[in-house]
Amino acid sequence: MQYLIVSITEGCDPVNRLYYCVLSSLPHGLLGFKGSNKLIPLEKLIDNFDAQYSYIANDGALFTFHTNKDSPRYKLVRVNIQNPDVWTDIVPESEKDVLESAHCVNGSHLIVCYLSDVKYVVQLRGFETGDLLQQLPLEIGSVSAVSGRRKDKEVFISFTSFLTPGIIYRCNLEEEQPQLQVFREINVKDFDRTDFKTSQVSSISLPWITLFVSFLE
């Protein structure tokens, strides 16, 4: 069974509406609407602008979304669209970290990115339960993109930091203990980032400020 998901946004606020169509219910599929003024029969799932919902994956009618519904730091939720009144938290909202993104890869895994103390943390979780399986070791810096589809056994992560303008890491999720390996790196002439070490230091007098210091070794 295939689905068409329609997301409607309004302005720049992180909110949207969600509608869907079961394509198998259309006698001639979407092609049946070609050259026609007929409207595709959409079913409403979210019909107000009270939160943001981003599609992650689905197994039939069971859909998983990344949302800020009653969770300003975001969470992952699951709903059977045939019973849209029941929503279940799969990865609940963190007490302090912001769940920036989530990607379903390798069939049954989630790669989730948290913004924690103004640096990025990447985790491997189970798709079905949301349970934490492993935290992937990452230097202090920012994740700019995660590339991987549900059928892919490898995932690619774009990373930048104070010491590098860009690294693409590759992670083989079929390994018993998946690790990040450098796939591509932007090199700066006459600069060796391994000569430096970046540390995170929290201010005592101003606890809301975090300093990043790069030390020459």
pLDDT band with cut points at 50, 70 and 90 for residue 203: low
| pLDDT of 183 higher than 90 | yes
Average pLDDT over residues 119-131: 96
What would the pLDDT profile of 32-89 be if each residue is shown by its tens digit? 888 888 888 999 999 999 999 999 999 999 999 999 999 999 999 999 999 999 999 9
pLDDT at residue number 213: 53
| pLDDT of 201 higher than 70 | yes
pLDDT band with cut points at 50, 70 and 90 for residue 216: low
> Cα torsion at 94, 97, 100, 103 (round to 10°)?
-50
CA distance 209 to 22: 49
pLDDT at residue number 210: 54
| pLDDT of 205 higher than 70 | no
As a whole number, the mean pLDDT across the chain is 90
